[in-house]
Amino acid sequence: MNGTAHTAIGAATGFIAANTFQSSPTETMILVGLGAVSGLMPDLDIDGKLRGKITLSHKVIRLTALFIGMLMVFYSFYEGRAVDKWLGIGIGLAIIIVSSLIKQKHMLTITGIGVLAGGISLSEIWLILLGVYIVIASISSHRSYTHSILGIIFFGFIASKLEGSLGIHGVYYACLGGYISHLIADLKILPFNKRGIKLFLPVSKIEL
């Protein structure tokens, strides 16, 4: 199934969540948007179109990563205390080194590291975990871990932390529902899917 269809189904799931929680019009828009984004998330393991959409051009990403890395080093050096200080400097240096090595195919990984660094500096757990998710997705083979129960649990945990940060009821269900809708739409029993998903990784490689 293509990205447009996944987005539409995810958005519909967000809308159902909004109705269930009798959300205000603004909250409804947020939940529909989150459902749509969540419906796309599992396919961050695809090479091609979707990666091109969320990542900026090669040079911009490299410069941004370099800048974030240097900022992390300086900030940690002047503001950090004890362990935090060295952790921050270490992460900053790692970002600088990695960003100078990036090639086209590593762009999504770099984006993930950027999100991770942003989450650390903002002290937002959901953003940190989302960064980790993007990094893992970028190095996973297609329709593997992001399309498994393990992926659902990990993303569900991110969603629950996001709901806590935003303080909006229904965020958890909109995100989780959008994510699960993607996996259902990718099942092999549906006539338009040539391949299924390995739902039980790493326990079983059976394709559903």
Closest CB 141 distance from Zn ion, rounded Å: 12
DSSP string, 51-90: HHHHS--HHHHHHHHHHHHHHHHHHHHHH--HHHHHHHHH
Query: Least distance to Zn ion from the beta carbon of 183, Å?
Result: 7
Q: Which is nearer to Zn ion, 27 or 43 (CB)?
A: 43
Calpha distance 23→183 (Å, rounded): 26
Q: Which region, judged by CB under 5 A, interacts with Zn ion, from 87-95, 101-109, 131-139, 185-193? A: 185-193
Cα separation, 169 vs 162, in Å, equals 11
Considering CB under 5 A, how many residues would be counted as binding Zn ion?
3
The residue within the footprint of Zn ion, chosen from 11, 177, 186, 201 (CB under 5 A), is: 186
Q: Which listed range, 24-32, 66-74, 102-110, 184-192, lies at the site for Zn ion (CB under 5 A)?
A: 184-192
Q: Are 176 and 155 in contact (CB under 8 A)?
A: yes
Task: Based on the shown chain and the rule CB under 5 A, indicate whether residue 163 belongs to the binding site for Zn ion.
Answer: no
CB of 128 to Zn ion, least distance (A): 24
In contact, 40 and 14? CB cutoff 8 Å: no
State how far the Cα of 29 lies from the Cα of 170, in Å rounded to an integer: 12
Task: Tell me which residues in 39-58 interact with Zn ion (CB under 5 A).
Answer: 42-43
Site of interaction with Zn ion (CB under 5 A):
42-43, 186
